[in-house]
Structure 1
Amino acid sequence: MAVSKLNLPSPNHHHHGFLINPKIKINTLITSQAVTAAATTRRPIEHTSLRNKIQGSGTMLDPMDPILRSDLIRYGEMAQSCYEAFDKDPYSKYCGSCKVPPQTFFQDLGMGDSCCSGYEISSYIYSSNTSNLVPKFFTESVYKSDGPWNSMVNWMGYVAVSNDETTARLGRRDIAVVWRGTVTKLEWMEDLMDFLKPVSAQNLKSKDPNIKVMAGFLHVYTDKDQRCPYSKFSAREQLLAELTRLTKLYKQRGEKMSITLTGHSLGSALAILSAYDIAESDLDNLDNKQKIPISVMSFSGPRVGNIMFKKRVEELGIKVLRVFNVHDKVPNVPGVLVNERAPPLVRLVADLTPFFYSHIGEELGLDHTRSSFVKENLDIASLHNLELLLHLIDGYHGKKNKFSLASGRDVALVNKDGDILKHECLIPPKWSQVENKGLKKNQNGEWKLPEQKGIEDHLRHKDVELHLRKLGLA
């Protein structure tokens, strides 16, 4: 196929030029749709009215709503930023940390003009590998001396808040919780202990001891290691403390808020688990009995828990949209044989076992073979690639409509860390490279990996401990 025959985006396409919208049950999904509407209308959008509209609508929207498309790309790019920022170089003594400081996070990643730029990082999240139930995806440095980092700890994501300009357009302050997925081979699922464990076993609030999630996910979320300052508190404790601080701050200002969680792959599972924990811990409740709407944008995520976990998430009013490539295998695990698609009688019996899982929320399955840019036959890792999924979101206009890019999102991004695009696109595979593999000449003329500046600034132990005390967790 010649390049001219590829459906190349016009340089005049912008986010407000979206054409169409996916076939999903929008009445059961809360999205932060106002974010992109702001780019179009430039006036404040009431989140409450959008919430009521979405919940009250029983229609199937097809083609794709431009606001929903923009939301998905925005939060998907936030999830992608975790991969970009993660230091996975085993020759770095900071391996497992975040390469950039929170103050200039998106700018340092070259995303200063992206749709994420309306958000500011308020806190980083770290997780420790202290349990044999934790998947072996933690990257480790060859550096073994007593340095600033610990190989048992990994940076797992961040909390970001919409800035004043974006908040004014939204009509609310959006708090985004972004979880990193695994950066190693997809065999991490085999390393993960895939039996169900009660959330209460790790001291999460639970009204029913039968509410269970995969043990590996639970331990990534709750484990801590006192040997390293970055894991003095668990990922859960860090997150709940930060949300307590933020919700109190913006409640005192009288601002409306929303909480949106997102992640890819393993990060998707952590997003759903932490959304449940936030709601069950009552952090979404305001004094006037109003609730902060919680939604999850899940990308290529596996199943997380059992049917009781699914029911409780729904009872708590959490809205989940799962987006995935229909040829990707990760969203089918765990629970390949027995899951939510099984007959009712089978589900009833299977729910008594520690191996029956159920997906949560509405789903949007996309097919990479619909894109004229993408190779038809891809390997397992490519099928799971987040940049590919964002490309599919951009071009989706419904099951019966032709694939056509709506926003002008750069096709080259698909090959940034993969070999996915057809050769006719003339984009080399895995083109994103760090110059000289990160080595820089020091003042002595020696080639060295540079020191991370201000890595200690990533920690706020006093703040975390203070807010944990208020939650009764410290």
Structure 2
Amino acid sequence: MAVHLPVPQPSSGLCAKPQQQRGNASTAAAAVATPPSTFAPQTTRLSAPTIALNIRHTTTPAAPPVVVMTERVAKKQNEETTATLASMWREIQGARDWAGLVEPLHPLLRAEIVRYGELVAATYKAFDLDACSKRYLNCKYGKARMLEAVGMAGAGYDVTRYIYAAPDIALPGAAGPCPSRWIGYVAVASDETARRLGRRDVVVSFRGTVTGSEWVANMMSSLEQARFDPADPRPDVKVESGFLSVYTSDDATCRFTYGSCRNQLLSEVTRLISKYKHEEMSITLAGHSMGSSLALLLGYDLAELGLNCDGCGDTVPITVYSFAGPRVGNTGFKNRCDELGVKVLRVVNVNDPITKLPGIFLNENFFGAGRLELPWSCACYTHVGVELALDFFKARDPACVHDLDAYIGLLKCPNKVAVVKNDGEHVLSKAMKFVLQHSFDTWRWQMAAIQVGELVQAIGL
């Protein structure tokens, strides 16, 4: 018997906070008829070549009736899907650590992962790698038309601010520290999207490593105290020094903005929380590779400072969607994120070496460092959150294992990952070619050698 969920009537305040307790979302989730899935039901590791199929077949009648999908029927089905997402958005955002949603992967969660992944992919499509352009290493388009220009006019978000960042690193031959470059954007859900999602969603989207200084920052794998809250510095909370440098360094010469990446983000996110404080809200931070590290640092920063509290005293949930993200901090950092309720869903390819860095040897699996309080625990890198493991590898193009489009393509069509293609070269291939075109002399190779042991171990050679 089909169970139809009632469509909640939006209040005059769009996603205004309800006066009475919300219904049990897990019951709503159980009532949704799960469509056929190509994901293996007993594991979260999805492998394109050997993926197990879980497809239900129905007997085809001898003379099947012709069903015309009228606009009225299509609208009704869309309303039922909308009602489902709006009623269980907290679970989709990790309120219960995605219990029962990852294994097997729930279709609503899969759709949301793809949606946020595409918002991250927009940062690559809009990033200008043309050395002859006046917007070189910045965004090609203005805020008002950026999403439309990259083919996402129907995304349902309004970009409110661009974010710029640069690590405090001086490359050989440069006059000073590297200038700030466009690294992402802040956007807020439109009224229509807010009604569909069941809340006003604030999204911060980060791209991954592209410039030479960013590659160098990735190699700075020493742990450093975060100290985001001056009143409570928490010396046990440590993060990778390179990511911290990108997040906190200030470039006074940047012509597009002022302040560090951190200051830009805290200012804009708190402004939006204040603007929509009378509505149900969520903060969603998404990034690829290095961008996922910045997303996690921002999520921890907001929660540690208590900036995710609206004017009514309620806590706005923070969710991080990490695509191909490396480790960011030590066990103390991981434990503090858990205490603060920062929810992290890590989408990783098991063949991607970047997801195993830094900390190939000193990590959560090193002699129980992630389970026991041992003397060396504070020096061990530890992943944060829940992992959704994919399994794909394209032998003729090793860069594919880290490519964001390949991640999204597998989630969309897990049985066709072998034919996932980009418009031209893979994004990572373009970025690596860009870096190699810039001569850093022997210094670049010396820095790369620091990580060669970890890379060899990660790739499994």
TM-score, normalised relative to structure 1 = 0.68
1:122 corresponding residue in structure 2: 160
Alignment-derived partner of residue 33 in structure 1? none
- Offset, 1:111: 2.2
- Corresponding residue of 2:452: none
Report how many residues are paired: 358
Higher relative contact order (CA 8 A, sep 6+): 1
Identify which of 184, 200, 205 aligns with 1:173.
Answer: 200
Establish whether residue 384 from structure 1 lines up as the match of residue 411 from structure 2.
Answer: no
Give the match for residue 68 of structure 1: 109
Q: Post-superposition shift, 1:204?
A: 6.6
- Indicate which of 309, 315, 334 corresponds to 1:310: 334
SS state at 2:86 partner: coil
Instruction: Indicate the residue corresponding to 2:153 in structure 1.
Output: 112
The alignment-based identity, stated in percent, is: 38
Output aligned runs, 1:291-310, within 5 Å.
291-310=315-334
Does the residue aligned with 1:330 lie in a helix, a strand or coil?
Answer: helix
**1-side partners of 2:159 and 2:316: how far apart?**
20
Q: Deviations over 1:328-373 (max 9, x none)?
A: 10011100112012222697232344xx21110111111115xxxx
Do the aligned residues in 2 keep the contact of 1:128 with 1:154 (CA within 8 Å)? yes
- With over 3 angstroms needed to count, the CA separation of the structure-2 counterparts of 1:289 and 1:365, relative to structure 1, is same
Match of 2:96 in 1: 55
Which residue does 2:180 correspond to in 1? 153
Superposition map of 1:2-401 within 5 A: 19=37, 23=43, 41-43=81-83, 45-46=86-87, 50=91, 55=96, 58-59=99-100, 61-113=102-154, 117-131=155-169, 152-183=179-210, 188=215, 192-200=219-227, 206-251=232-277, 254-344=278-368, 348-353=374-379, 356-369=380-393, 375=394, 377-396=395-414
Q: How much does 1:47 deviate? A: 5.4
Q: Distance in 2 between matches of 1:178 and 1:110?
A: 16
SS in structure 2 opposite 1:229? coil
Distance 1:343 1:224, change over 3 A: same
Alignment partners' CA distance in 2, 1:186 and 1:418: 21
Unmatched tracts of structure 1, length 5 or more: 1-15, 26-36, 145-149, 370-374, 397-402, 421-428, 431-474
Contact 1:45-1:170 at 8 Å conserved across structures: yes
Separation in 2, partners of 1:271, 1:53 = 16
1:198-229 per-residue CA deviation (whole Å, 9 max, x = no partner) reads 111x6677551111101111111111121223
- Within 1, Cα distance between the matches of 2:423 and 2:346? 23
Q: Secondary structure at the match of 2:348?
A: strand
Cα gap change, 1:51/1:91 in structure 2, threshold over 3 Å: closer, same or farther? closer
Query: Root-mean-square deviation (CA), in Å?
Result: 3.4
Shift of 1:185: 8.1
Please tell me whether the aligned partners of residues 159 and 175 of structure 1 are also in contact (alpha carbons under 8 angstroms).
yes
Letter of the aligned partner of 1:42 in structure 2?
Answer: T
Q: What amino acid maps onto 2:318 in structure 1?
A: I
**Residue 127 (structure 1) shift:** 1.0
What secondary structure does 1:103 align onto? helix
Counterpart residue identity of residue 204, structure 2: V
Q: Is the CA contact (8 Å cut-off) linking 1:123 and 1:159 kept in structure 2?
A: yes
Q: CA offsets, 1:78-124, max 9 Å, x none?
A: 111111111122222321211011101111112224xxx11110111
Per the TM alignment, residue 327 of structure 1 is displaced from its structure 2 partner at its CA by: 0.8
Contact 1:278-1:284 at 8 Å conserved across structures: yes
State the 1:131 CA deviation: 3.5
What secondary structure is seen at the aligned counterpart in 1 of 2:375? Answer: helix
Change (3 A) 1:80 1:51: closer
Decide whether the 8 Å contact of 1:127 with 1:231 is kept in 2. Answer: no
**Contact persistence 1:269–1:304 (CA under 8 A):** yes
1:417 aligned to 2:435?
no
The answer to whether the 8 A contact 1:20-1:62 is kept is: no
CA contact (8 A) 1:76 1:390 kept: yes
* One-letter amino acid of the counterpart of residue 96, structure 2: Q
CA distance in 2, matches of 1:57, 1:131: 39
**Counterpart-to-counterpart distance in 1, 2:214 and 2:96:** 39
Q: Distance in 2 between matches of 1:395 and 1:205?
A: 48
